[in-house]
Amino acid sequence: MFDRCRPLRAAAWLVLVAALAAGASLVFGPATPTRSAALAAGDEQKAEEKEDKELEWERPRFEERREERREMVKKYIAGAGLRDYYVLEAMCQVPRHRFVRERDLEDAYKDQPLPIGYGQTISQPYVVAFMTQLLQVEPGDRVLEIGTGSGYQGAVLTELTPHVYSIEIVEELGDQAAKRFEDLGYETISSKVADGYFGWEDHAPFDGIIVTCAAGHIPPPLLKQLKPGGSMIIPVGGVYEVQYLIRVTKDEEGNIRSEQLLPVQFVPMTGRAQEGK
């Protein structure tokens, strides 16, 4: 799943960053990523041809605070070196202010985590973009998110594929997120309240798994549900330990490889994960 379209992604990134820097008006409609890359290259006919062949799905669009989202992407995400055009486009589209508490609306587009209640947080935009970029999601990929929270990460993922499945262990947050998805028009996200440690076997295997809470170890059920050729991004470490963001990949033969990326700080995974292996 990873590294499949990097040349297109890198080229399109240059177009997007240049447009952001110039303050150009970017048009992000209900186009597929392949169509976006073709349009960025100036080949409208090729874009139309590819659009016919590509998977399409409805994604909601929001005008309010659009310029703040553009500035957030330019300053904190593209400006920090992230280069995946489709991830940058997704971050420009999803209205983060609709996923935070009313008291935090003013800080919605700052690069910082914000509390969402019940001891949980919405991750800072850079981390959301970085983890999403690592997954290298393609249209049609099946992606599992562990830790729905307010739903922001899931909304970003559904900009890249319609097959997003999200699990939240805190019932109140899970119910709120499900209603928020419905209210905002994110109709392709499937969510439920459950212990994410065990994954979502009914919809496995997954091309990508993204975990937004830190576990003391990588849950074996998630490894089992990861599709050969897929990848999982997960923070690993205890509450009072240094946590590291880990990328786990499974090759076509089912062999597991893990790579330690950078130190992070996430809220802990609760439920079965706290009982140890």
186 compared with 238, residue with greater pLDDT: 186
> Which architecture, in CATH terms, is 110-275?
3-Layer(aba) Sandwich (3.40)
- Predicted confidence at residue 29, as pLDDT, reads 34
With residue 17 as reference, give the H or E element that holds it. Answer: helix 6-22
* Predicted confidence band of residue 239 (pLDDT cuts 50, 70, 90): confident
**pTM for the full model?**
0.82
- Predicted confidence at residue 275, as pLDDT, reads 81
Residue 190 has pLDDT above 90, yes or no: yes
Task: Quote the tokens at residue 32.
Answer: 């597929």
The pLDDT tens digits of the residues spanning 92-130 come to 999 999 999 999 999 999 999 999 999 999 999 999 999
Please say whether the beta carbons of 77 and 147 come within 8 A. no
Closest CA to 222 of 198, 193, 194: 198
Please say whether the beta carbons of 91 and 73 come within 8 A. yes
Task: Quote the tokens at residue 12.
Answer: 């399109």
Residue 185 has pLDDT above 80, yes or no: yes
The pLDDT tens digits of the residues spanning 1-33 come to 333 444 444 444 454 555 555 554 343 333 344
Please state which of the ranges 18-22, 159-163, 216-220, 231-235 shows the lowest mean pLDDT.
Answer: 18-22
The pLDDT tens digits of the residues spanning 49-90 come to 444 447 899 999 999 999 999 999 999 999 999 999 999 999
Q: Which residues make Cβ contacts (< 8 Å) with residue 153, sequence separation at least 6?
A: 123, 128, 131, 132, 145, 147, 210, 212
- Predicted confidence at residue 2, as pLDDT, reads 37
Please state which of the ranges 101-110, 191-200, 235-244 shows the lowest mean pLDDT.
Answer: 235-244
CA separation for the pair 220, 273 (Å, rounded): 10
- Predicted confidence at residue 7, as pLDDT, reads 42
Domain ranges, ordered by start, for the chain: 6-96, 110-275
For residue 24, count other CB atoms closer than 10 A to its CB: 12
- Predicted confidence at residue 118, as pLDDT, reads 94
Task: Quote the tokens at residue 167.
Answer: 């699990």
The owner of tokens 């923070």 is: 235
% the chain with pLDDT above 70? 80
Q: Please compute, for residue 93, the number of CA atoms within 13 A of its CA located in the half-sphere on the CB side.
A: 25
CA separation for the pair 38, 209 (Å, rounded): 28
Report the sign of the C-alpha dihedral through residues 28, 34, 39, 41, in that order: positive
The pLDDT tens digits of the residues spanning 259-269 come to 999 999 999 99
Report the sign of the C-alpha dihedral through residues 70, 94, 222, 124, in that order: positive
The owner of tokens 């992407």 is: 73
Catalytic residues: 123
* Predicted confidence band of residue 41 (pLDDT cuts 50, 70, 90): very low
